[in-house]
Amino acid sequence: MRRVPFLLYLFSLLLLVHGTALTTPISPNERICFYADVDKPKEKIGFYFAVQSGGSFDIDFEIRDPNDRVILDGQRERQGDYVLTANSLGEYMFCFENDMSTLTEKLVDFDIMVESEPRREAPAKPGQIAEQTSALEESVYRLNGMLMNIKRMQKYFHTRENRGFSLVKSIQNRLFWYAVLESLGIIGMAVGQVYILQTFFTKTGRRYKV
């Protein structure tokens, strides 16, 4: 009967995470921003993004704090994975800008996570589970770290798959239009040859049979 409070205490040691996972298209010369609220001091902000398709798979990004100060930015980045400490309370701004591209739309996959680690509270009866807590707590944190690594690997392979598909689609379109132009060239050469042969057997508008 005493295991239920212990399990509740154990699960309360896990990181509390609230975040947003989105995929958004960004048109040429477009700037788009997203926002995340931080209501506790020293919270951790996780920011991950990867360009899935479009052009050279690069994008400009910028992160601003509630005081409108730039705390992190980058130009022509293909992907990034950052963890920041929120020193100010309020609304943080995450912006992407596709200014370097005039024709190509970019598809960006990104996560914005605000993490907070709750304080450890003593059990109801001191010494009741003191010896078991540290070992199980360490195992829980180890499992949490392994799950985060698996999540990062899934994002990495997901990005590689999307970029590979985008490249295959681009090559397929190029081959299609190359085949169309080649066919038009062959047809044009055939029409030109017929016209040239006709001029060989034509004199002052009269044709001679051979």
What pLDDT does 133 receive?
Answer: 61
Extract the tokens encoding 165: 């598909």
Instruction: Grade residue 41 by pLDDT with cuts at 50, 70 and 90.
Output: confident
Helices of type H across the chain: 3-11, 130-200
In terms of pLDDT, which residue wins out, 150 or 177?
177
What burial letters (b/e) apply to 59-96, b meaning 16+ CB within 10 Å?
bbbbbbbeeeeebeeeeebebeeeebebeeeeebbbbb
In terms of pLDDT, which residue wins out, 177 or 209?
177
37 beta partners: 91
What pLDDT does 13 receive?
Answer: 43
Instruction: Provide the whole-model pTM.
Output: 0.58
107 beta partners: 25, 53
Rounded to 10 degrees, what is the CA torsion of 120, 122, 127, 132?
A: -30
What pLDDT does 115 receive?
Answer: 76
Answer yes or no: is pLDDT of 117 > 50. Answer: no
In terms of pLDDT, which residue wins out, 156 or 15?
156
Answer yes or no: is pLDDT of 4 > 50. Answer: no
> How many angstroms separate the CA atoms of 82 and 74, rounded?
12
Q: How many CA atoms lie within 13 A of 184 on its CB side?
A: 6
- In this structure, of 110-124, 165-179, 194-208, the range with the lowest mean pLDDT score is 110-124
Answer yes or no: is pLDDT of 65 > 50. Answer: yes
137-171 pLDDT tens trace: 777 767 876 777 777 777 777 777 777 777 777 78
Residues of the chain above pLDDT 90, percent: 18
Three-state DSSP at 98 gives coil
